[in-house]
Amino acid sequence: MPDKRPFTAIQTESNDHAWFEVERAIIEPAGGRVVVQRAASTDERVALLQDAQAVLVGGAQITSAVLDQLPDLELIIRYGVGLDSLDVPAATEHGVVVAHYPDFCQPEVANHAMMLLLAVARKLLPHDRAMRTGQYRGPGLPVVPPITGQTLGIVALGAIGRQVAQRARAFGMHVLAYDPYLDASVFAEAGVERAATFEELLARADHITVHAPLTPETHHLFNRAAFAAMKPTAILVNTARGLIVEEAALVEALREGRIAGAGMDVFEVEPVGTDSPLLAFDNVALTPHSAFYSEASNQQIKERVGHTVVAFMQGKWPSEFATIPNRAEVKPKRPLR
């Protein structure tokens, strides 16, 4: 007998039903169902997903062990760019199609990276706090780097890295980037100097911004050795993945004055605890993994998720709305055209 259940897409990282109204308004008129329930653990997530043909996921880990327990799952949609929270090979083995949106929120993240750099360099936090306590200019103006004429080092010159390079050049900065996976033509087209090694970038950059994916090679790329190789006047900005930066090493470098500051949107453990030592520094600007967000980008990603689900329900590869990284290898559980 054919399965008569409505195609069910479940989000297990939120209890905010109103946040998913855009997806619901697209999916449910097409005959699907959107369920929003927060899972407090992996086991609870598996239990909640038993009725799901699709899971709409942010940062939750969907591993091989999870997939083993979800025989009806057909589609995983990752909000946003990265796939480090998903076991794509395991999904492929299970006949599960994986979709994501690698072109999502590029201008927002680039803008956010520059905002964090400027906030730390221009001493926004101590100035703001002094003003709010009646200290106009406080005891004296702090040392502020010029930015213009300095060198910005970019780790990974992908789409977001190239947008950051555009903005940095508008501020009169020289741009140096390290990305061993790109041809020289990409650097030339972007007007960016290529660092031959990561070590060269660390030594030459006045400030560094990270836009790499999380991989075994980039895990804790910024460790004690990396911070020791940076200029003591340098600011590190990370809007990519928290685990690229070893936070204990970052805190140590900040305490010992081995770098001048940091702007962090992502962290090793999220949400950040109130006991995090990063909260104590005036030369560290922190935002809650929000670099992706604007009203426009949020609306766009929700619409694309909704249309991806509907296309899949209708037996279509949803590449019009999303990228399918395992399309060539996966054997879907429903016929797709």
Q: Residue 1's pLDDT is what?
A: 37
| 17, 68: one domain | yes
Q: What span, in angstroms and rounded, lies between the C-alpha atoms of 222 and 243?
A: 9
| 190, 94: one domain | no
Q: Judge whether 222 lies within some domain.
A: yes
| 95, 119: one domain | no
Mean predicted confidence (pLDDT) in 294-318: 96
Q: What span, in angstroms and rounded, lies between the C-alpha atoms of 147 and 117?
A: 9
| 110, 100: one domain | no
Confidence band, pLDDT 50/70/90 cuts, at residue 80: confident
Q: Which tens digits make up the pLDDT trace of 248-277? A: 999 999 999 999 999 999 999 999 999 999
* Residue appearing with tokens 């406080």: 138
Q: Which tens digits make up the pLDDT trace of 98-149? A: 999 999 999 999 999 999 999 999 999 999 998 999 988 866 777 899 999 9
Percentage with pLDDT > 90 across the chain: 93
Q: Residue 180's pLDDT is what?
A: 97
Instruction: Tell me which residues are annotated as active site.
Output: 241, 270, 289
Q: Residue 5's pLDDT is what?
A: 77
Residues in the chain: 337
- Cβ-based neighbours of 51, under 8 Å, separated by 6 or more: 5, 8, 10, 35, 72
In Å, the largest CA–CA distance within the chain is: 78
| 29, 14: one domain | yes
Q: Judge whether 322 lies within some domain.
A: no
Q: Judge whether 1 lies within some domain.
A: no
Q: Judge whether 76 lies within some domain.
A: yes
Q: Residue 9's pLDDT is what?
A: 97
Arithmetic mean of pLDDT over the chain: 95
Q: Judge whether 328 lies within some domain.
A: no
Confidence band, pLDDT 50/70/90 cuts, at residue 3: low
| 268, 233: one domain | yes
| 131, 264: one domain | yes
Q: Which tens digits make up the pLDDT trace of 196-222? A: 999 999 999 999 999 999 999 999 999
* Residue appearing with tokens 């949400």: 271
Mean predicted confidence (pLDDT) in 30-48: 96
Give the dihedral of Cα atoms 103, 112, 57, 27; nearest 10 deg: -60
Q: What span, in angstroms and rounded, lies between the C-alpha atoms of 51 and 69?
A: 11
* Vertex 124 angle, CA 135 and 210, to 5°: 160
Burial class for 233, CB neighbours closer than 10 Å (0-12, 13-18, 19+) = middle
| 260, 175: one domain | yes
Q: Residue 282's pLDDT is what?
A: 93
| 100, 187: one domain | no
Query: Domain of 75: which CATH number?
Result: 3.40.50.720
Instruction: Yes or no: say if 333 and 74 are a contact pair by the CB < 8 Å rule.
Output: yes
Q: Residue 81's pLDDT is what?
A: 87
Question: What total of structural domains would you count in the chain?
Answer: 2
Confidence band, pLDDT 50/70/90 cuts, at residue 2: very low
Task: Provide the residue range defining the domain that includes 80.
Answer: 8-104+294-313
Q: Judge whether 219 lies within some domain.
A: yes
Token output for 271: 């949400």
Q: Residue 140's pLDDT is what?
A: 72
Q: Judge whether 160 lies within some domain.
A: yes
Q: Which tens digits make up the pLDDT trace of 176-186? A: 999 999 999 99
